[in-house]
Amino acid sequence: MQYDIPAIVQGYAQGYFLMADESDRLSWYGSRHRTFIPLDERFRYPKSLQRVLNQERFSVAINRDFQAVVAGCANREVTWISPELQEIYWLLYQTGYAYSFETWQGDELAGGILGIVIGGAFIGESMFYRIPDGSKVAMVKLVERLRQRKFVFFDAQMMNPHLERFGAYRVGDEEYQSLLEKALHCRCYLV
């Protein structure tokens, strides 16, 4: 199937995101509130995770195995990442918009975060782990990377208890659109 990648990127640049329903039909969605992972001093994580970070059990990579991260994110009992959306992520990856931020333990993929980069916006699509703490370490290391690269925001889209533990907070649509406009004028690079 042919996809209009510039139109898909434009959809994300307007504040929408793609999701598949229970029948695998893909649609654009918006939200009156978005969840941000803080890129400032509000970002936090449990002390137990600091011990894991100090042990340096995981190495970090970007796009070492993009398709495995997408498959890991989609491998759930109920998923909104349909085969069609996986194909779109692959095309976004090939055109330089989609990234996998990964943790590895030796040669084993421990966890990862799938996201889309447009200007200074990192739009987190999903995350997963195969080894305990793999995705949590990926989150901490990704935030460090986004700070270093001067990203405007890390959009996690929807709040959940796991993200709250990292200091995630919600912004209304008006603030989101304002920050998105600022991000679109930035030239930030993950790699």
Q: Is pLDDT at 172 greater than 80 in this prediction? A: yes
What letter does residue 189 receive in the DSSP assignment? Answer: -
Q: Which amino acid is at 123?
A: I
> What whole-number distance in Å separates Cα of residue 79 and Cα of residue 82?
7
Mean residue pLDDT of the chain comes to: 96
Give me the half-sphere count of Cα atoms (radius 13 Å) on the Cβ side of residue 64: 17
CA distance 86 to 136: 23
Contact assessment for residue 151 and residue 101, using Cβ atoms and an 8 Å cutoff: no
CA distance 25 to 27: 7
Tens digit of each residue's pLDDT (9 = 90 or more) over 84-102: 999 999 999 999 999 999 9
What are 34-87's pLDDT values in tens digits?
999 999 999 999 899 999 999 999 999 999 999 999 999 999 988 999 999 999
- The ranges assigned to domains in the chain are 5-184
pTM of the model: 0.96
Closest CA to 108 of 79, 77, 129: 129
CATH class of 5-184: alpha beta
Return the closest-CA partner of residue 116 out of 66, 160, 163, 77.
Answer: 66
Shortest CA distance to 33 belongs to which of 164, 161, 177? Answer: 177
**Who's near 103: CB < 8 A, 6+ residues apart?**
58, 59, 60, 61, 109, 110, 111, 112, 131, 134, 135, 137, 138, 141
